[in-house]
Amino acid sequence: MTACFCPVFVERKVKTEGRRCAEEVKIMTFSAKYLNSVIHPLGIYFKKITGMKGWKIGMKYEFKGNRGNFYMENPDLTSYLYFPLANESGVMSCVSPDLGGDSKMDQNSFLMPPVSCENLHNDKSSRNVWCRIDGSTLWSLTGRSSWQQAQKFSENKEPMAVEAGFMHHKITRTSDQIGIKGEISSLVPATGESVELMKIQIENTSSQYKSFQIITAIPLYARSADNIRDHRHVTSLLHRIKTKSSGVIVTPTMTFDERGHKPNFRAYGVFGGSESQGPVGYFPVLEDFIGEGGSLENPKALQERQLKPEKENFKTGGYEALGGLCFQECRVGPKEKITYVVAMGYGNTEDELIQNCSQFLSERAFDRCWEQTAEYWNHKVNVRLKTGNPAFDLWMRWVSFQPMLRRIYGCSFLPHHDYGKGGRGWRDLWQDCLALLMMNPAGVRQMLIDNFGGVRMDGTNATIIGNRQGEFVADRNNITRVWMDHGVWPFLTTELYIHQTGDLKILLEKNSYFKDMQVCRGEDKDIQWKTEDGERLRDGRGRIYSGTVLEHLLVQNLTSFYDVGEYNHIRIRGADWNDALDMAAQRGESVAFTCMYGYNLKGLAVFLEELKAQGVAEFEMAEEVRLLLAEDPAVYDDIRRKQEILKDYCRTCSHHVSGKRAVVKAVDLQADLLSKASWIYHHIRQTEWIDSKEGYGWYNGYYDNSGNRVEGETKAGVRMMLTSQVFSLMSGVAEDPQVKDIVKAADALLYRKDIGGYRLNTDFHEVKMDLGRMFGFAYGHKENGAVFSHMATMFGNALYRRNASGEGYHALLSLFEHCSNSEKSRIYPGIPEYVDAGGRGMYHYLTGAASWYLVTVVTQMFGVRGHYGNLIFKPQLIKEQFDEHCQAWVSMEFAGKSLKVLYKNPRNLDPDAYRITSVTVNGIPCHCPGEEWIIKREELLKLPDQELHTIMVELN
Ligand code: G1P
């Protein structure tokens, strides 16, 4: 009997929510839970029905141990699952539960054919490993035979499971029918070799002797992702294929690009063996292996009575290649196992490729590498937590790991991220540093200084980021796009850096400015600029001009201050944080980010005060920047005048700067910044608050290209955007009593628990061509009304900053509860970019949300953070977050020391009821002067290195 005959009546119902149609499958007669409990005793039936649409599929992972490793049964019954395997030397792989996915080193070096999300289930290319049993029965260890596929939803579905930890992944599959169990462990070595490894192990689970023969069938695509639909066939003609030293090697003769073909040196290969044997033959050509009419899931070559693989030193060319390794047929007794290791590798020469792969071709070498890899990443994810919710603590390990993945993969190279070429955008670059500041602060200083080299003198910045730190590339396609939020992020990251480290003097470090053809904030071109001039701004005498980090920040924030539209808020131009608000370049304004520019101007003034206290009373800056300072504040209301000032300034520095320096007094500069900041705060408070008749209110954050206010209670319905609330709260534009009103409005209009919490916006019921492409997306998806993790997390962060601990926790908890419930989110542990209308986590792993989540948990929820380098404690943990001993702790790096901050809350109070009563370091009481509980950096620096120091904080 198959699942199709289950006695269940399924009704498809069209549910209408607003104008959104969601198709829902409802199980009418039995709830799935009830059915499971009835049928479960029969065991087998439970397994049989798990894949049925609408059924509770029971795909829950369990954490094992304390590293975040997890175990999940039958992940092959969840679509779109993938897992990252990579290292810091450039290998980027991903594997699905049936070992689909791909492996590459960059856009132009894909070892396997590139996959995007739909290829995960539609493609037949995978890391297939076949076992021929007793010379006839064929079994795929990954379940990728057409007959195993056909049985997936029947009683014959083979049980399989995945177990995984950072950068290592193991699948297990059994067939009771055959009496066989297969395991494939996959990893990319943390030690940096350019390989992906698989350990293949087969066990005879029957009571008779059997003969097993293993054959791998891994397509060797060996070229650029572009060629998937740009001369796919022609580029296979470049392939030179040979069998050698336990492997199949493909070295294309050239890389194909009609703008200029280039010789190719990169060699790709699949190698295999064990302690005692290598392959006995090879299937190096894909079409020979699949045979006429066959496929990779039903290969004809393996159905021959006698296999006819090629021998070593076989050579051919001009075909799609295959990593087809054929091992010796072995007789295997009951409970006995056979093991092989396969290496899929890259090399700049064939010798290098062979060297990279051959060192791993034994079980011992593989097992050592498995341990090293697991250890390396476990050590690297060095923020740890313990709260009353162990699942949260372990899930946080994955969230903390995600920023590392984004440094490796950029925003490309995982199946949903099928765009870009591995780079990260400007805002991602800065926000990813936030997580680094939590985990590995040591290298951040230089990284920040280098990143400032991407700022243009008009306050905009390079948008193409090179491979090396501090390398920015001119856009030779001349696509002019200015994102108005870009100027906001560098200050936020620098602010956190200064507080975590106390290194205020970074503001006085110098770097150059980026230069290309774009000038006047994307409105003009500098036709005098030539590529040969280089990508750095020069002065009138042709010398590269350098200014301080402070000057860069001033340039970014002051130019924005003047770049206003008809409502006197900063123009949105190409878009703001929401990339999909991209159709309002002429008249659109982003009030949301104007709030943050206000915050930055105020924050800069605060740093100047501190610098003054440290004896820095004046600053040198480019003479031109003075144009943006010391205007009569009366000008701030005069939109036309502001625009003129900006234009004049941009003209003075559009080809080069004069090189003349002005000296500005800290007091004057500070006064100027503060007056600008307060003007912004006042202006937004006066003009953008929306008072709803429902008894709550919120801030309007946008004007569209028709010059209309976007949010409010309009004729078309209620329009509210989360971003506007996040930044009005975070900046402090929203006044204290407004905090609760905003939360009430967000709860009423945006919150949906069943998809992870706060959505990005209400349904506008309009394809708003005068605001952005997001309105073309179906409602509930991506930037149009999904629960977009990045903004939902920043909402939590903003609420904590406003001391709304319970509300902040609620925002973060809703996301965690949804994402970590794999039955609903259908992802492995971690935070996805967003949760779609049906509750699925989308674009897993590579998201700025992870950095923000981590920073929020450490610095706000636990309230462990720096204040000019000293350590302060402002816990906002609510009572349910403490464990059974009324304790919670976080361990992290701070001031170069490993610290564990342990909170004790013996009376189990909430943040509004508790206060700190004592602090000890390694048992020795701290004497904190004044109200604040603070440990001076000097004290921390005295602690020995290489030890974990416990700071105990009593709450009462
Ligand atoms: C992604 C982009 C980010 C952009 C956001 C909204 O978000 O990487 O730059 O601001 O979409 O359009 P992420 O998932 O990285 O947070």
221 contacts 123 by C-beta, under 8 angstroms: no
The C-alpha atoms of residue 926 and residue 892 are separated, in whole angstroms, by 20
Take residue 520 and report the two structure tokens written for it.
């006047």
> Facing residues of 185 across strands?
170, 199
Q: Is the CB of 790 under 6 A from ligand 1?
A: yes
- Is the CB of residue 411 below 6 angstroms from any atom belonging to ligand 1? yes
Residues 436, 569: one domain?
Answer: yes
| Residues 324 and 466 grouped into a single domain | no
Residue 776 near residue 785 (C-beta atoms within 8 A): no
If we measure between CA atoms, which residue out of 934, 868, 937 comes closest to residue 897?
937
The Å distance, Cα 834 to ligand 1 centre, comes to: 10
* 486 plus 506 within the same structural domain: yes
DSSP string spanning 162-201? EEEETTEEEEEEEETTTTEEEEEEEE--TT--SEEEEEEE
> What is the distance between the alpha carbons of residues 704 and 587, in angstroms, rounded to a whole number?
6
Please give the Cα distance from 194 to 189 (Å, whole number): 8
CB neighbour list of residue 38: distance below 8 Å, 6 or more residues apart: 30
Residue nearest to atom 1 of ligand 1 (CA): 847
Token pair belonging to 231? 């001369």
Is residue 544 a contact partner of residue 502, using CB atoms and an 8 Å limit? no
**Does 871 lie in the same domain as 795?**
no
Q: How far is the CA of 504 from the centre of ligand 1 (A)?
A: 29
Pocket of ligand 1 contains residue 848 by CB under 6 Å:
yes
CATH code of residue 923: 2.60.420.10
Residue with the nearest Cα to atom 5 of ligand 1?
578
b/e per residue 877-906 (b: at least 16 CB within 10 A): bbeebbeeebbbbbbbbbbebebebbbbbe
Mean pLDDT by 10 residues, the chain (956 residues): 32 35 33 38 38 50 97 96 98 98 97 97 97 96 97 93 98 97 98 98 98 98 95 97 96 91 96 97 98 98 96 98 98 98 98 97 98 98 98 98 96 93 88 93 93 98 90 81 97 98 98 96 94 92 97 98 98 98 98 98 98 96 94 92 97 97 96 98 98 96 98 94 98 98 98 97 98 98 98 98 98 98 97 97 98 98 98 97 98 97 98 96 86 92 96 97
Of all atoms in ligand 1, which is nearest to the CA of residue 425?
A: 9
**Rounded Cα–Cα distance for residues 779 and 768 (Å):** 12
pLDDT at 259: 82
371 and 268 within one domain: yes
- Residues found in the chain: 956
**Cβ of residue 833 lying under 6 Å from some atom of ligand 1:** yes
CB 802 within 8 A of CB 739: yes
State the DSSP string of 367-400.
HHHHHHHHHHHHHH---EEE-S-HHHHHHHHHHH
Q: Which of 791, 820, 847 is a domain's end point?
A: 847
Q: How does DSSP classify residue 570?
A: B
Q: Are residues 841 and 868 in the same domain?
A: no
Parallel/antiparallel/unpaired status of strands 10-17 and 887-894: unpaired
Residues 753, 334: Cα–Cα separation, whole Å: 51
Mutate which of 431, 790, 847, 854 for ligand 1 pocket (most atoms within 8 A of beta carbon): 790
Strand residue runs (E) in 537-688: 546-548, 589-590, 618-622, 661-665
Q: According to the model, what pLDDT value does residue 19 have?
A: 32
> Are the CB atoms for 106 and 127 separated by under 8 Å?
no
From the CA of 788, how far away is ligand 1's center (Å)? Answer: 9
CB 841 within 8 A of CB 757: no
Query: Which of 345, 380, 415 represents a domain boundary (last residue)?
Result: 380
Measured in Å, residue 849 CA sits from the centre of ligand 1 at: 8
Ligand 1 pocket test, pick from 428, 774, 852 with the greatest ligand atom count within 8 Å of Cβ, gives 428
389, part of any domain? no
719-736: pLDDT as tens digits: 999 999 999 999 999 999
Q: What pLDDT was estimated at residue 874? A: 97
- The CA-CA-CA angle for residues 323, 369, 88, to 5°, reads 80
Chain-centroid distance, C-alpha 549: 27
Residue with the smallest CA separation from ligand 1 atom 15 is 847
In ligand 1, which atom is closest to the CA atom of 848?
16
Q: Tell which one of 431, 434, 579 to mutate to probe ligand 1, the residue whose CB is within 8 A of the most ligand atoms.
A: 579
Ligand 1 centroid to residue 848 C-alpha, Å: 6
Q: Nearest-5° angle of CA 502, CA 504, CA 506?
A: 115
Residue 232 — φ and ψ, nearest 5°?
-55, -45
Please tell me if the CB atom of residue 577 comes closer than 6 angstroms to any atom of ligand 1: yes
Residue 92's H or E segment, with its range, is strand 92-95
Q: Is residue 852 part of a domain?
A: no
Could you tell me if 598 and 677 are in contact, meaning their C-beta atoms sit under 8 angstroms apart? Answer: yes
576 close to ligand 1 (CB < 6 Angstrom): no
Residue 406 covered by a domain: no
CA 691 from centroid of its chain's CA atoms: 36
| pLDDT at residue 3, as a whole number | 33
Atom of ligand 1 nearest to the CA of 834: 14
Residue 400 lies in a domain: no
Any ligand 1 atom below 6 A from CB of 579: yes
User: Do 619 and 490 belong to one domain?
Assistant: yes
Beta partners for residue 89, in sequence order: none
Give the Å distance between the CA of 439 and the centre of ligand 1. 22
The answer to the question of residue 452 being in a domain is yes
How many whole angstroms separate alpha carbon 751 and alpha carbon 760?
9
Helix or strand run (H / E) with residue 897 = strand 897-904
Nearest to 816 by CA among 760, 874, 881, 770: 881
Quote the distance between the C-alpha of residue 476 and its chain's center.
28
pLDDT of residue 928: 76
Contacts of 930 (CB under 8 A, 6+ apart): none
Q: Sign of the C-alpha dihedral, residues 165, 166, 169, 170? A: negative
Number of structural domains (the chain) is 5
CA angle 4/10/12 to nearest 5° reads 125
Q: Do residue 720 and residue 830 come from a single domain?
A: yes
Q: Which atom of ligand 1 is nearest to the CA of 577?
A: 10
pLDDT at 422: 82
CA–CA gap between residue 555 and residue 625 (Å, rounded)? 7
Ligand 1 site, residue 428, Cβ cutoff 6 A: yes
Q: Whose CA is nearest to atom 10 of ligand 1?
A: 577
Nearest atom, ligand 1, residue 843 CA: 14
Structure tokens at 282: 């090879």
In sequence order, what DSSP letters do the residues of 149-164 get, joined into one string?
HHTTTSTTPPPEEEEE
Other CB atoms within a 10 A radius of the CB of residue 113 amount to 21
At 426 the three-state DSSP class reads: helix
State the DSSP code for 857: I
Domain span at residue 787 reads 691-847
State the distance from the centre of ligand 1 to the C-alpha of 296, rounded, in angstroms. Answer: 37
Which amino acid makes up residue 831?
Answer: I
Which CATH number does the domain housing residue 128 bear? 2.70.98.40
Residue 421: helix, strand or coil by DSSP?
coil
Q: How far is the CA of 426 from the centre of ligand 1 (A)?
A: 11
Last residue within a domain, chosen from 662, 687, 712 = 687
Residue 388 domain-assigned (yes or no): no
Say if CB 933 and CB 919 are below 8 A apart.
Answer: yes
Q: Which atom from ligand 1 is nearest to the alpha carbon of 580? A: 12
The alpha carbon dihedral of 763, 764, 766, 772 has a sign of negative
847 Cβ below 6 A of ligand 1 = yes
CB 617 within 8 A of CB 666: yes
Q: How far is ligand 1, taken at its centre, from the CA of residue 854, in Å?
A: 16
* Alpha helices in 805-912, H assignment, sequence order: 805-819, 822-825, 848-855
What pLDDT, on a 0 to 100 scale, did the predictor assign at position 929? Answer: 67
Distance of alpha carbon 128 from alpha carbon 140, whole angstroms? 7
Q: Is 486 in the pocket of ligand 1 (CB under 6 A)?
A: no
Task: Check if the beta carbon of residue 679 is closer than 8 Å to that of residue 634.
Answer: no
C-alpha 874 – ligand 1 centre gap (Å): 29
Does 522 reside within a domain? yes
338: which strand partners?
Answer: 202
Ligand 1 centroid – CA 847 distance (Å): 7
Query: In the numeric block, which tokens belong to residue 72?
Result: 């999940």
Which residue, judged by its Cα, is nearest atom 6 of ligand 1? 578
Give yes or no: residues 226 and 275 share one domain: yes
Q: Which CATH number fits the domain that encloses residue 818?
A: 1.50.10.10
Which residues make Cβ contacts (< 8 Å) with residue 186, sequence separation at least 6?
85, 93, 95, 99, 127, 168, 169, 170, 196, 197, 198
- Specify the residue for token string 């608000």: 581
Map residue 434 onto helix, strand or coil: helix
Decide if 210 is inside a domain.
yes
Domain shared by 474 and 333, yes or no: no
Q: Check if 849 has its Cβ closer than 6 Å to any atom of ligand 1.
A: yes
Q: Indicate which atom in ligand 1 lies nearest the CA of residue 424.
A: 8
Ligand 1 atom with minimal separation from the 791 CA: 16
Q: Measure the CA–CA gap between 202 and 338, rounded to whole angstroms.
A: 5
Question: Using a 6 Å cutoff on CB, does residue 489 contact ligand 1?
Answer: no
Ligand 1 proximity of 567 Cβ (cutoff 6 Å):
no
CA of 157 to the centre of ligand 1 (A): 39
107 and 37 part of one domain:
no
Name the residue with tokens 């980021």.
465
The Å distance, Cα 90 to ligand 1 centre, comes to 23
- Residue whose Cα lies nearest atom 16 of ligand 1: it is 848
CA distance linking residue 120 with residue 103, whole number of Å: 13
* Cα–Cα distances in angstroms (integers) from residue 356 to residues 189, 231, 349, in the given order: 11, 30, 11
Ligand 1 center–CA 356 separation, angstroms? 36
710 and 576 together in one domain: no
Centre of ligand 1 from the C-alpha of residue 633, in Å = 36
Q: Ligand 1 centre and the CA of 518: distance in Å?
A: 24
Whether ligand 1 lies within 6 angstroms of the CB of 574 is answered as no
In this structure, how many other beta carbons lie within 10 angstroms of the beta carbon of residue 56? 16
Distance 105 CA to ligand 1 centre (A): 23
Question: Distance from the CA of 578 to the center of ligand 1, in angstroms?
Answer: 7
The residue nearest atom 14 of ligand 1, judged by CA position, is 847
Tokens of 166: 């950072």
Separation of alpha carbons 474 and 265, rounded Å: 27
Contact 700/725 with Cβ under 8 angstroms? no
